[in-house]
Structures are given as C-alpha cells and as structure tokens.
Amino acid sequence: MVYLIFVLVPIGMSVRTSFTNRNPYNPPTKWVGLRNYTDLLSDDDFLKALQNTVVVTVVLTVVANVGGLLIAMLLDRRGTFYNALRAVFFTPVILSGVVVSVIWQAILSDDGLLDSMLHSLGVDHPPGWLSDPNLALYSVTFIVIWQMLGFCVVVYLAGLQGVPIELMEAAAIDGATKFTRFRTVTWPMLAPALTINTVMLLISGFKLYDQIQVITNGGPGNGTTTTVAFDVVTTTFTGNHIGYGSAMAVMMLIIIATISAVALRFLQRREITL
C-alpha cells in the first residue's frame, strides 16, 4: 500500500500530466497527446542534457568500478589501520550531495583552495575547474566519483572476503601466479559485487541533480553541465511547464529502467556463466 501511494500513484499522475500542456500561469490545461514527447526529440537543450548525463554516467560507472576494486584489494587486510582506512573511504557516501558539493565548490572554485595551492607552487594561471566549459562537467563527475567510490570499495571488500581461502590455496599449490589466481578465482567470485555496483552507479549517474544545482547551476555557459534531472526540475518548477517537464521525467524514467534492466540481465547472466 505504501509503495502504491508514494511510488506508483505519483508515476501514474506524471504520465497523465505528460500528455497535457499544463502550466498554472497559462490555463486552461489541454490534452496534447504525444506532442511533448515528439518535441523532446528536437529539443536541443534536452538532447544536450541527455548527452551530458550519458557522459557523466559512463565515466562514473567505469572509473568508480575500477578504482573501487583496486582500493578494495589494497584494503583487504586485517588490522586497525586498514579498518580506519575503510571508514575514511566510506565517509563521503554517508554525506549528502549538498554537503559534498559545498566542500568541493570551496576547493575547486576560482581562487579556491586548490588554486591557492597551485599559486604557491608557481602556477600563475590554473585551470578554471568549474568556470571552464571544457572542464566543468568532468570536475563535477570527479566529485560524484569521489562520493560514490567508498560504496564500491565496501561492496568489493565484502566480495573479496567471501572468496574461499581453500580455492586460493589450491590455485597457489597448482602454481598459479597472483594474476592467474585473480582472473580465475577472485574475479568470477566478484561477479555479484560488480552487478550491484554497476547498477547503482548507472542509476546515480542518470539521476544526478544535487551537485549540478549547488556547484554549477547548469553552467558555465549555456547548459554545459546540465543533466536530464536538472532539466526536469528547472523546466517544471522554474519554467512552470509542468506538462513538458513531466514528459521529460517519464522519458528519464524509461531510460533509467531500460538501461538498468539490460545491465542487470547481462550481469546476472554473466554470474551464472562464471
């Protein structure tokens, strides 16, 4: 019942609204059918936001997975020191996106902490990490990776600690090198961890909003760092084009559901194969 009220009903209302031209400042509301969806296909702003979202999601998924696995392998040891390091890497995960954004905005903004350090090292003209249109999107992506990395580390650590020691010892006795043991024993056992991390990162990338709103507000320039989620909010609540914004939201839901389902099916099939 709770899921029905707070999830399915709002989705149904959004779908219904997406077929209208609803705008509280421009009544009356009329049924427009698929016009909102066809307009999206030729909307340069939406297509740019979709492109940015895909770039962020791909980079986030690949880098966070690889980095998380490497760090997890380094931390897969016993001892108080390694337990403390695990806590350090996981701390950003429990912080809100707004808090993380404020911290990194102070670091990466023009004349911020990073620029001050570069100036002290003799760099007269450091890059505009958040003000350069060619760097801003990747700077925000780095911030998201930094926050999500700890989640990947914890999941991979759980997978590594679930690898039977007997299998590793048997492979070592058979003369397998460390790389061979990782490829034939450890990596197949990490298949469920890879599935969890990949799906979570895909969803996190496509629904990215907080960091964009706080750090760049979609800039610099015209939509340089705009994402689909950011475009949905600004179109719906700032522009008051509720019907068109609902169509964007439904389109985003379809994209996320499709990509997540395909990735989940592929990765779960891989788990069975391995």
The per-residue pLDDT for range 227-252, each reduced to its tens digit, is 999 999 999 999 999 999 999 999 99
pLDDT number for residue 4: 80
Domain boundaries, the chain: 43-273
Q: What is the pLDDT of residues 87-139, one digit of tens each?
A: 998 999 999 999 999 999 999 998 889 999 998 888 888 899 999 999 999 99
Answer whether CATH 3.30.565.10 is correct for domain 43-273: no
Helix axes 97-108, 113-120, angle to 10 degrees: 30
Q: Is the dihedral of CA 270, 155, 108, 238 positive or negative?
A: positive
d(CA 249, CA 229): 8
pLDDT, residue 252, reads 94
Question: Which band of pLDDT confidence, cut at 50, 70 and 90, is reported for residue 274?
Answer: low
Residue 202: pLDDT above 70?
yes
- Burial level of 109, CB count in 10 A (0-12/13-18/19+)? middle
The pLDDT, as a whole number, for residue 5 is: 82
pLDDT at 199 over 90: yes
* 189 contacts: CB under 8 Å, gap ≥ 6: 159, 162, 163
Rg (CA), the chain: 22
